Chain A
């Protein structure tokens, strides 16, 4: 045996063994020793095959900017009072502008000075004088807005990560995308609706004082005292499960918010056997809570989550321990989820669902079965056809084809690529196209044989002539596959991956491996005639 054949044979053998070793964890699962399973990952299935949820959430960053502006307004009021500047109002207007209304130009200049010093990120805008008032307008600089938005998305991402961790999903994907979007993939999730509820909640916890003497009817028509707001209290009938909503007027400003929490846990109220959420404040929160309860004994305090009042208990005494409870006729799961979102932290701005693709496990299972069937049936048909057409050489081509499929699967596992349903279609397509390389070579060999060349020479020139054609033809398909990979998402990306891996693997098997087999028979076995 010549050295070249030995070397090439060893290389192919090593590739095959490595491929089989890496495929074993996929095919045999737990029957392998653990070191083996640790060495090679099984092929990772896409959400369309294993079932699961793919979500794209849009963070409403505009709300984060508004929220930031609101807190600037609060600070401004305090500052202007401290500086003894007389003003009519400080308000947010036109979404993202801050408007200070004063009575004369002199006060206006003073306001300008204060704002310049305290909030350098605010840009002064036009000064309007209307009916005896001076209005000073300010807005955040574009750079500041971009920073607030960026921070909001980053914080939302962090919060989502915390929530998903608490939810307990294996191998979740949480990524930031362009345009303030967050991609979340939860494989194999059992209860998608619960996950959506959990992830989508803003979870802004606020404590607000109830305004007892407010006129509810007037409030419903929009006539509210300044500084108050109308919310609804959620009430669940424990027997029927019927949810009722009761209007309640509370202060606009929160006395305390959820970002001062240190922990939230589900407990069971032994008297009614009802779950509630016990919350603990951190040091700052505990101090603040102590002050508020001390100052408002006898009054009611509303516990507000995302603008819904869960309960509004009367403060009986000063509470200094830094803990409180949220009760509100929860089911146990609702209480658990509430505790999760409170622990994970609130979102800096509301999110909405831009894209949701959920595949149930049974459909995924069916898809795998049908996909694998179509690969097998397609491959068997091709193998038979090639065998009939090329006989002896057909065996060579078919060996290359089977190796090709094995290599594709092994490479997918090693590159940690994701196999999707269109990915399986890509394998099917590769099977059809991979044989093309051998067809090209064999047709060339036949031509050479017809011209009266010997087997040795026919094979040599057949491979040499077909090689350029094969490379040219495959590279164009590879270009299409690479473009698809760049632009595609999810399942489509899987198609691009298997197609490109398939093209590369097929060049190796159809050219290198099949040539080796021919050379082996010609040089080692001294075969003089080939069956083609």
Chain B
């Protein structure tokens, strides 16, 4: 079977300005969402606080749980349904229970009073103190920075600096867009999301490098073509591979998103956005940046 005919020649490069507009608009939408929401929505990993996941043996609703707990047990709380059914909830509070007397115990007692003894199962508790949260936030940021620097060095070594610049611009584009999508859908950013960001970085690069590799190879083959044509030819040469690999990766990530369960739902969401954006960026961002850099350099040398 062939999805893409071998002689295909779509002119991607000429549409790079439209693509740039789309990217800028999407990034702005994400940033606007970020501003409207008053900054990133950090999970307890980064903001500090407590999340308690409870499962009831009967259906109930978030409002009722919140009324029971606030302000008697907790000063403030956000109660959210977890998963698809009406009996499992996440209770998030800012308090961190540094001492011994468990907030957990108080919370369970209050809920059991209302719903009956043994009708509630405590599925998960995550408490992160503010100091640890701050440390983790710093570590997460550093991880992303170090990964990018490492990759920049590797690509500059294997290709040329301008390729590395294109790849890094594409990476920043992907991470910013995914970050924006998180703000837009009001999803929490926790430790696993940083892992997902790094996976996106890895994936997006994977895609970019394959196109770059082809550009490098084709440069030796077609001497008569302009650099823009060369890039376009290379994207087309690898198009069938790009589509096939993106589809298989998308398939597995979708399977993770749908069947993986509530705990890694947001993680899978980040990967989903990242795979789509990463594929798009290696065609429409990484390669055009390469071209821009090339034109910019030519101008500079002409002036000199």
Residues of A at the B interface (CB closer than 8 Å) are 48, 56, 58, 192-193, 196-197, 200-201, 352-360, 362-363, 366-367, 370-371, 373-374, 377-379, 381-382, 385-386, 388-391, 421-422, 424-426, 428-429, 431-433, 435-436, 439-440, 443, 446-447, 450, 465, 468-469, 472-484, 486-489, 491-492, 495-496, 499
Report B174 CB to chain A, min CB distance, Å: 12
- Please choose the segment from B12-20, B31-39, B238-246 that sits at the chain A interface, where 4 or more of its residues have CB less than 8 A away: B238-246
Asked, given contacts A436-B206, A469-B213, whether A196 binds B248 with beta carbons under 8 Å apart, the answer is no
- In the complex, 30 of the A-B residue pairs with CB atoms within 8 angstroms, ordered by the A residue number, are A56-B132, A58-B129, A196-B100, A354-B98, A354-B128, A354-B132, A356-B125, A357-B127, A358-B124, A362-B55, A381-B251, A382-B251, A385-B248, A385-B251, A390-B1, A421-B263, A422-B264, A432-B252, A432-B253, A433-B249, A439-B245, A476-B205, A476-B206, A477-B203, A478-B202, A480-B198, A483-B147, A487-B140, A488-B195, A491-B191
Give complex CA distance A377, B202 in Å.
Answer: 23
Report B239 CB to chain A, min CB distance, Å: 10
Is chain B's binding surface mostly helix, strand, loop or mixed? helix
The A-B contact count (CB < 8 A) is 231
Residue B146 lies at the interface, judged by CB distance under 8 Å to chain A: yes
Residue B74 lies at the interface, judged by CB distance under 8 Å to chain A: no
Give complex CA distance A477, B202 in Å.
Answer: 4
Contact A476 B151 (CB under 8 A): yes
Contact A483 B146 (CB under 8 A): yes
Is chain A's binding surface mostly helix, strand, loop or mixed? helix
Taking a contact as CB atoms closer than 8 A, the residue among B102, B105, B260 that contacts A425 in the complex is: B260
Report B101 CB to chain A, min CB distance, Å: 9
Give complex CA distance A327, B277 in Å.
Answer: 67
Q: Which residue of B lies closest to A356 (CB)?
A: B127
Max chain B C-beta neighbours (<10 A), residue from A56, A426, A477: A477
Contact A492 B202 (CB under 8 A): no
Give complex CA distance A309, B147 in Å.
Answer: 55
Residue B126 lies at the interface, judged by CB distance under 8 Å to chain A: yes
Contact B206 A353 (CB under 8 A): no
Give complex CA distance A492, B199 in Å.
Answer: 11
Taking a contact as CB atoms closer than 8 A, the residue among A371, A382, A480 that contacts B199 in the complex is: A480
Report B99 CB to chain A, min CB distance, Å: 7
List the B side residues contacting A197 at CB < 8 Å: 100
Report A289 CB to chain B, min CB distance, Å: 29
Give complex CA distance A436, B3 in Å.
Answer: 16
Contact A360 B194 (CB under 8 A): no
Report B144 CB to chain A, min CB distance, Å: 8
Max chain A C-beta neighbours (<10 A), residue from B199, B209, B252, B256: B252
Contact A352 B260 (CB under 8 A): no
